[in-house]
């Protein structure tokens, strides 16, 4: 398997994207995931945001990343597709992300739904709308040979029966799932059972622990975690993560395990990285 990280780890440090590349190079991590920005933002323009804008030339950025020894495992275009504005704002955003990902050689684009029940829509109306959206998105994804992942992060996607319906919106190898150990747990699901149900559809994995205090406060009442303030191995989800890694090992998963936690400018994600390497070694999982 491959170890990667999401640049969300450095949101509070106000790192620019290149500082994240430097962190990856320093810590011998070769796979990176970041959010995509469709437009301009003053905080990003000033170099205080660790994500990438779609106006940045993907070929030139790829050359810079190669110099640091890093590649994208996935780019994040997770504007909620379940709301009334999903077709208006989310679909064009995801389509642009797919085209950009193709040019930079990134294999996956991450998508999801909204955190709550969509306002003004019944569940069936929202599902019907999302089906049409994903049909349009996957047509573009197939043309560019880029996988579109659905991440459990919201009202629909953290419910296994709804995730199953969504993954069957299109009969295509380009519609798959991004497993998230933290979001499934905080939503009140069993991450191990969730992964087991969809393991044949998984192409990318977010590894995220959950602090005991957060779990006691919101588990079952929240569908996702923006950024986990808990190092991997320090929370109540650590045993579930180990079991998920065993499932992935036994399935022959060779993809990226993308660490997600608040980095504290480095120390917390470095602690997470040490735990990941130690745990993978204990489970006899080779790291590429």
pTM greater than the 0.85 cutoff:
yes
pLDDT digits (tens, 9 = 90+) for 151-187: 999 999 999 999 999 999 999 999 999 999 999 999 9
Integer angstrom CA distances of residue 29 from 50, 258, 265: 16, 10, 16
Whole-number Å distance between alpha carbons of 133 and 120: 18
Given this model, what pLDDT does residue 251 score?
Answer: 98
Average pLDDT over residues 108-137: 98
Q: Does residue 96 belong to any structural domain of this protein?
A: yes
Structurally, how many domains does the chain consist of?
Answer: 1
**Does residue 288 lie within any of the structural domains?**
no
Q: Long-range pairs for 131-137 at CB < 8 Å and ≥24 separation?
A: 131/169, 132/87, 133/81, 133/86, 133/87, 133/90, 133/91, 134/81, 134/166, 134/169, 134/170, 134/175, 135/169, 135/170, 136/91, 136/95, 137/91, 137/94, 137/95, 137/98, 137/111
**Contact (CB, 8 A) for 185 and 212:** no
| pLDDT tens for each residue of 232-255 | 999 999 999 999 999 999 999 999
User: SS3 for 142-175, per residue?
Assistant: HHHCCEEEECCCCCCCCCHHHHHHHHCCCCCCCE
Q: How far apart are CA 271 and CA 257, in angstroms?
A: 15
Residue 165 placed within a domain: yes
pLDDT, residue 276, reads: 98
**Domain CATH number, residue 254:** 3.20.20.150
Q: What's 288's DSSP letter?
A: -
- Dump pLDDT digits (tens) for 12-60: 999 999 999 999 999 999 999 999 999 999 999 999 999 999 999 999 9
Average pLDDT over residues 271-286: 98
Residue 287 lies in a domain: no
* Whole-number Å distance between alpha carbons of 1 and 245: 10
CA-to-CA dists, residue 224 to 132, 210, 244, 269, 277, angstroms: 24, 11, 18, 19, 25
| Contact present, 2 and 73 (Cβ < 8 Å) | yes
DSSP state of 86: I
Encode pLDDT of 126-160 as tens digits: 999 999 999 999 999 999 999 999 999 999 999 99
The per-residue pLDDT for range 75-97, each reduced to its tens digit, is 999 999 999 999 999 999 999 99
pLDDT at 63: 98
Residue 148's CB is within 10 A of a number of other CB atoms, namely 26
207 located within any domain: yes
Name the region of 250 (left: φ>0; alpha: ψ -120 to 50; beta: rest): alpha
Residue range(s) defining the domain that contains residue 119: 2-282
pLDDT for residue 120: 95
């Amino acid at each position: 398997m491959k170890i990667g990280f999401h640049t969300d780890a450095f949101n509070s440090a106000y790192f620019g994207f290149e500082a994240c590349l430097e962190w990856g190079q320093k810590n011998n991590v070769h796979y990176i995931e970041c959010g995509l920005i469709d437009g301009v933002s003053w905080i990003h323009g000033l170099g205080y945001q660790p994500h990438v804008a779609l106006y940045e030339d993907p070929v030139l950025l790829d050359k810079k990343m190669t110099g640091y020894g890093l590649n994208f495992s996935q780019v994040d275009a997770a504007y909620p597709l379940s709301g009334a504005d999903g077709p208006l704002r989310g679909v064009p955003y995801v389509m642009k992300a797919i085209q950009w990902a193709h040019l930079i050689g990134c294999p996956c684009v991450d998508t999801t739904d909204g955190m709550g029940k969509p306002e003004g829509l019944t569940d069936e109306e929202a599902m019907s709308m999302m089906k049409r959206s994903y049909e349009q998105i996957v047509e573009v994804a197939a043309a560019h040979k880029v996988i579109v992942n659905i991440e459990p992060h919201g009202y629909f996607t953290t419910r296994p029966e709804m995730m199953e319906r969504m993954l069957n919106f299109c009969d295509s190898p380009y519609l798959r799932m991004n497993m998230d150990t933290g979001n499934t747990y905080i939503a009140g699901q069993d991450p191990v059972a969730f992964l087991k149900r969809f393991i044949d559809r998984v192409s990318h994995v977010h590894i995220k622990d959950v602090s005991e205090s957060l779990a006691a406060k919101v588990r079952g009442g929240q569908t996702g975690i923006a950024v986990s303030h808990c190092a991997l191995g320090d929370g109540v989800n650590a045993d579930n993560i180990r079991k998920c890694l065993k499932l992935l090992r036994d399935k022959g998963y060779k993809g990226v395990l993308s660490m997600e936690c608040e980095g504290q400018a480095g120390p917390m994600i470095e602690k997470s990285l040490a735990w990941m390497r130690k745990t993978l070694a204990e489970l006899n999982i080779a790291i590429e």
